[in-house]
Amino acid sequence: MDPAAAPIDFRTEPSRYKHWKLAFENGVAYLTMDVNEEGGLKPGYKLKLNSYDLGVDIELADAVQRLRFEHPEIGAVVIRSQRDRIFCSGANINMLGLSTHDHKVNFCKFTNETRLAIEDASIHSGQTYICSINGIAAGGGYELALACEQILLADDGSSAVSLPELPLLAVLPGTGGLTRLVDKRMVRRDHADFFCTTAEGLRGKRAREWRLVDQLIPPSKLVEQTQKIAEEVAATSSRPKDAKGIALPTVERQIDGDTLRYAYLTVEIDHEGRSARFRLNGPSSAPPDDVHAAGASFWPLALAREFDDAMMHLRLNETEIGTWVLTSQGDAALVEAYDALLAEKADDWLVHEIVLYWKRTLKRLDVSSRSLIALIEPGSCFTGTLLEVALAADRSYMLDGVFEGSNLPAATVRLTGMNFGPYPMGNGLTRLSTRFLNDPRHVDTLKDQAREPLHAAAADEAGLVTFTPDDIDWEDEVRLAVEERAGFSPDGLIGMEANLRFPGPETMETKIFARLSAWQNWIFQRPNATGPEGALKLYGTGKQSKYDRKRA
């Protein structure tokens, strides 16, 4: 991170929003976009026409999260615009032109993770998102609409949807637009081809016939009809309408030099070695009798929020830290007790949301463009939910025995029911099923070993760890693994890791992230887009881009 630049902070709450307004009525939340032109995350550009930068998306992500935890009574969410005849013009082009390549890629990835969180809320949380478009929805603006379950469009002859990146900017929709178009909305490929090469997009009858929107509504009735549709959807939601939500206070974090400290997580950054060591701490006491009374301090929720924040901080502010070393510390029996509570109370709306949050947090770890190395040492508590962190790693090292001079018992790992379904990866499989793609029956065998503490030899035999060095070899093997990673090409590692982490079935989610990596890491660096005479550089100047016409 540039020491002169202020770090990007992902912690916010509604009273600090610059770009969104939240309102509630009859079981419906209205999330209204009203972007402050002068409120960009960095200087040098204005957020005109409801265009957005990372700061706008940080607020959106926070709102989506808070609606799930703080408002169980909400069964539908309407995304709309405050601006007349403008819904959202997408990512701010001047911001993209001024941004470094790594910022653009991380911005697009976070934006898409937020879109996926919207879809997850609609599918799994009973909070169905509806987009009401009162004007132009272009590029990322239409991609935001695509994340919703219903798209309502004003039928006024001018309101339109478009993905104009190719004809205007020489790039492509970076947050899943093309994939959602054909995989989610099932738009015919010939229709999609025309749509994506037409800068002005489509409106009215053709937009509806081609499945680009769901309903056309006269502009004079858009507000009224949107409310009616949303309230009907909310009435059918499974959300507990009489339940009380829990508050999500700001995650407490202290940055002390190269160390990030949270209540249950510490991250130590080694800038010279280009690595960061995460230590996830287990709970200090038994599970409470009342999860709702514990609220945001409930250990699984507190740790998930801290882990999520730390990953985003490192992604955007520490881009040269290429290896994350994942460790844990605590009482494995207590971790198992919390997992048992999560399983026992799975039908409780709050527990359900906490498990879904861990699923999303682990998915964020999966798609982080960092090398992941897990160290399982004496005193660690890689059990159940926390074992998922180790299973997400590209490789793992488990000490066979104890360290000389230490009174800590030998390390163990422990499976629980949480390893067999609640936390699927983007490919739709559990991390165990992904790990043992060649032998699905082995996963059933492992169920018989659930709750058993497995020492290094047993964990190795079960296929749960990569290497089991002893005390003599431990330091050298771990050091060499981390140093070796720092010596490889970051670009090569990103490509290798992304290809290896998601074997098995292809899903819309895996397609989005695979294509995101390929498109943004190639097209965003090509002269046709970002060169001195590229489309992104000349956008808005009136000058014609000069393309290298060779097909590569």
Pairwise CA distance, residues 80 & 206, whole Å? 22
Residue 528 in domain: no
Whether 459 shows a pLDDT value over 50: the answer reads yes
pLDDT band at 472 (very low <50, low <70, confident <90, very high): very high
Mean pLDDT of 314-337: 97
Q: Tokens 């994942």 label which residue? A: 326
Whole-angstrom distance, CA of residue 118 vs CA of residue 129: 7
What confidence tens digit (pLDDT) does each residue in 351-409 have? 999 999 999 999 999 999 999 999 999 999 999 999 999 999 999 999 999 999 999 99
Residues 194 and 312 grouped into a single domain: no
Same domain, 194 and 261: no
Q: Quick one: 100 exposed, middle or buried, by C-beta within 10 A (0-12, 13-18, 19+)? A: exposed
Q: Are residues 322 and 457 in the same domain?
A: yes
Say whether both 323 and 225 belong to one domain. no
Interval 226-252 mean pLDDT: 97
- Band the pLDDT of 290: cuts 50, 70, 90: very high
Instruction: Collect contacts of 303-307 with beta carbons under 8 A, ≥24 apart.
Output: 303/264, 303/265, 304/354, 304/357, 304/358, 304/361, 305/248, 305/251, 305/357, 306/251, 306/253, 306/262, 306/263, 306/264, 306/265, 307/265, 307/278, 307/280, 307/361, 307/365
* Whether residues 327 and 230 fall in one domain: no
Q: Is the pLDDT of residue 174 over 80?
A: no
Which of 122, 110, 392, 407 minimizes the C-alpha distance to 278?
392
Which CATH number is 98's domain given? 3.90.226.10
Instruction: Report the percent of the chain where pLDDT is more than 70.
Output: 98
Neighbours of 216 (CB within 10 A): 17
Half-sphere exposure of 463 (CA within 13 A, CB side): 14
More confident: 498 or 140: 140
DSSP string spanning 59-100?
A: HHHHHHHHHHHH-TT--EEEEEESSTEEEE-EE-HHHHHHS-
Say if residue 180's pLDDT is above 80: yes
DSSP, res 360: H
Q: Give the pair of three-digit tokens for residue 494.
A: 């990103």
Quick one: what percent of the chain has pLDDT higher than 90? Answer: 86
Q: Which two tokens stand for residue 267?
A: 């991250």
How does residue 520 score in pLDDT terms, banded at 50, 70 and 90? Answer: low
Instruction: Give residue 73's pLDDT.
Output: 98
Q: Answer whether residue 521 is part of any domain.
A: no
Q: Which tokens belong to 20?
A: 């969104």
Total domains present in the chain = 2
Whether 3 shows a pLDDT value over 50: the answer reads: no
Same domain, residue pair 433 and 485:
yes
| 226 and 280 together in one domain | no
pLDDT band of residue 545 (cuts 50, 70, 90) is confident
- Rounded CA-CA distance 355/423 in Å is 8
Quick check: 457 pLDDT over 50? yes
> pLDDT at position 171, please?
83
pLDDT band for position 199 (50/70/90)?
Answer: very high
Strands 265-270 and 275-281: antiparallel
Instruction: To the nearest 10°, report the CA torsion of 61, 113, 172, 6.
Output: 60
Region 303-316: mean pLDDT is 98
Tell me whether strands 371-376 and 323-329 are parallel, antiparallel or unpaired: parallel
Which tokens hold the place of 499?
């290809």
3-state SS string for 437-480: CCCHHHHHHHHCCCCCCECHHHHHHCCCCCECCCHHHHHHHHHH
Q: What is each CA distance from 198 to 31, 160, 165, 218, 394, in whole angstroms? A: 29, 12, 10, 24, 42
20 lies in which domain range?
14-235
Same-domain status, 91 and 130: yes
Query: Which own/partner contact pairs does 403-412 have at CB distance under 8 Å and 24+ positions apart?
Result: 403/377, 403/378, 403/471, 403/474, 404/471, 406/378, 408/378, 408/379, 409/378, 410/378, 410/455, 410/456, 411/376, 411/377, 411/378, 411/379, 411/380, 411/455, 411/456, 412/332, 412/453, 412/454, 412/455, 412/459
Residue for token digits 């056309």?
Answer: 216
- Residue 291 within any structural domain of the chain: yes
Range name among 52-56, 128-132, 167-171, 179-183 with the lowest pLDDT average: 167-171
Q: Are residues 74 and 129 in the same domain?
A: yes
> Which pLDDT band holds residue 4 (cuts at 50, 70, 90)?
low
**Contact of 310 with 265, CB cutoff 8 Å:** yes
Residue 537 inside a domain? The answer is: no
For 515, the enclosing helix (H) or strand (E) is: helix 508-522
Average pLDDT over residues 494-520: 87
Mean pLDDT, residues 115-135 taken together: 98
Q: Is the pLDDT of residue 536 over 50?
A: yes
Would you state the pLDDT for residue 275?
98
Q: Are 337 and 287 in contact (CB under 8 A)?
A: yes
Instruction: Supply the pLDDT for residue 37.
Output: 97
In DSSP notation, 201-226 reads: -B-HHHHHHTTS-SEEE-GGGHHHHH
Q: Is the pLDDT of residue 128 over 70?
A: yes
Gap between the Cα atoms of 375 and 15, Å rounded = 41
Mean pLDDT, rounded, for 148-173: 93
Residue 444 lies in a domain: yes
In tens, the pLDDT along 9-22 reads 999 999 999 999 99
Of 235, 266, 296, the residue at which a domain comes to its end is 235
Mean pLDDT of the chain: 95
Q: What is the mean pLDDT of residues 56-72?
A: 98
Q: What is the mean pLDDT of residues 84-110?
A: 92
pLDDT at site 534 = 83
Cα 5 from Cα 514, distance rounded (Å): 30
Sheet holding 128-133, edge to edge: 20-25, 28-33, 76-81, 128-133, 150-154, 215-217
pLDDT at 528: 85
When pLDDT is averaged across residues 259-267 and rounded to a whole number, the result is: 98
pLDDT at position 331 is 97
Higher pLDDT, 409 or 529: 409
- Tens of pLDDT along 184-197? 999 999 999 999 99
352 in any annotated domain: yes
Q: Is residue 433 within 8 Å of 391, Cβ to Cβ? A: no
Amino acid at 92: N
Look at residue 27 in the predicted model and tell me its pLDDT: 97
- Last residue in a domain, options 458, 480, 500: 500
Please compute the mean of the pLDDT values over residues 250-274 and round it to a whole number.
Answer: 97
Chain-centre distance for alpha carbon 425: 12
Q: Single out the residue in 500, 521, 539 at which a domain terminates.
A: 500
pLDDT digits (tens, 9 = 90+) for 21-37: 999 999 999 999 999 99
In a domain, 522, yes or no: no
My answer on whether 324 and 197 are in the same domain is no
24 falls within a domain: yes
Q: Same structural domain for residues 188 and 64?
A: yes
Tell me: do 160 and 296 sit in the same domain: no
pLDDT in the model for residue 1: 42
Q: 175 pLDDT band (50/70/90 cuts)?
A: confident
> Which token pair is 384?
């159940």
